[in-house]
Amino acid sequence: GQQLNQSPQSMFIQEGEDVSMNCTSSSIFNTWLWYKQDPGEGPVLLIALYKAGELTSNGRLTAQFGITRKDSFLNISASIPSDVGIYFCAGRESGGYQKVTFGTGTKLQVIP
């Protein structure tokens, strides 16, 4: 099955630093989603993007839906220890059962 190319795979950053991660696909998506997964829990939705070019913020998080509809990025500003976790991008198709394809995840570690 198709997988999104998500990078970086992992990153260690100092508390207070900004973080950027991105996803690219060979397919066009109508919706891009960003999820965070804490250890031992299921993914939780952070941001949903519905239009090409859309830039959306949720607190310290900002995400953009790429203009080509084949990519998206997520930025976290002024990181804090509770930002630790795995971040997944996901692209959703519009037809059929609205298939959702997930990226392989970015594991974020924040050093206090």
**Where along the sequence are the contacts to another protein (CB under 8 A)?**
1, 3-4, 6, 33, 35, 40-45, 48, 88, 90, 97-100, 102-105
Q: How far is CA 88 from the centre of its chain?
A: 5
Nearest by Cα to 33 from 8, 58, 2: 58
State the nearest-atom distance from the C-beta of 1 to another protein, in Å.
Answer: 3
Decide whether 19 or 47 has the Cβ nearer to another protein. 47
Distance CA 68, CA 59 (A): 26
Distance CA 104, CA 59 (A): 24
State the nearest-atom distance from the C-beta of 96 to another protein, in Å.
Answer: 9
Distance CA 48, CA 42 (A): 17
Decide whether 37 or 77 has the Cβ nearer to another protein. 37
State the nearest-atom distance from the C-beta of 35 to another protein, in Å.
Answer: 8
